[in-house]
Amino acid sequence: MKQLYLAFVFLCFISSTKAQSVIQFTVNQLPLLKADAGKDSTVIKGSSIVLGGISPASGGSGTYTYAWSPATGLDKTDISHPTATVNQDITYTLTINDGLGCIKTSAVNLKVSFATSVDEFSALYGLRIFPNPVSDRIYIRTSRAFADKLLLLELYDVHGRKVYARQVNGTATLNQTIELGSFSKGLYLLKFTSTKINTAYKIIVQ
């Protein structure tokens, strides 16, 4: 890290015939340059994620240039928080330059995963099904899209009979309501099916 030196020269006149020069140095050292590409994550194939930590660059001169590599799936490579569309396991590297010759790098690993279990499915898509138990209507929400054009929602009773079915757009976040006020009390299975998903949740109507 380069150091900046400020020199202050004071001329102290002792008399009209004598002069003495005093030189005082103050050393200011810049904070260390840091880079933060963000946390390693598991993402759904075909979904998007914003890269970079809260502060992708800090320290140094305070004036930064950003370089992300590889460019695969990135909307831009020279900004602090690019968006990556992920179709395979990949590692992105962020290189920070503060313009004073200081360079710092940081990497983030993205792993593609398919939801297979209920817990994994909920975690990956930010799924909420509420209230459960339910008496009149149930709400289904996700914070992430499913990256499939079509998603099939089906509800089965305890005898395996399909009592509800609806196709929804899988490329958008889910915001569905199912009216259950006329359904018999008991246990039901709410099933999610697409080309990549096949999982079900227990629903209790009371």
Domain boundary among 87, 113, 139: 113
Model pLDDT for residues 148-169, shown as the tens digit of each residue: 788 899 998 877 788 999 999 8
Whether 17 is in a domain gets the answer no
Give the predicted TM-score (pTM) of the model. 0.49
CATH of the domain at 167: 2.60.40.3080
- Whether residues 101 and 159 fall in one domain: no
pLDDT band at 66; cut points 50, 70, 90: very high
- Whether residues 198 and 144 fall in one domain: yes
Query: Between 147 and 170, whose confidence is greater?
Result: 170
Give yes or no for residue 7 having a pLDDT over 50: no
- Whether residues 177 and 159 fall in one domain: yes
- Whether residues 89 and 153 fall in one domain: no
Whether 16 is in a domain gets the answer no
Domain boundary among 113, 128, 152: 113
Distance between CA atoms of residues 27 and 111, nearest Å:
46
171: three-class secondary structure by DSSP: coil
Whether 29 is in a domain gets the answer no
Give yes or no for residue 134 having a pLDDT over 60: yes
- Whether residues 123 and 105 fall in one domain: no
Structural domain of 89: 34-113
Chain-centre distance for alpha carbon 91:
14
CATH of the domain at 63: 2.60.40.10
Mean pLDDT is highest, among 5-14, 97-106, 116-125, for: 97-106
Distance between CA atoms of residues 166 and 189, nearest Å:
14
The burial class, CB within 10 Å (0-12 / 13-18 / 19+), for 109 is middle
Which strands make up the sheet holding 162-169, listed edge to edge? 162-169, 150-157, 186-193, 198-205
Distances (CA, A) of 205 to 58, 127, 162, 175, 191: 53, 19, 15, 20, 16
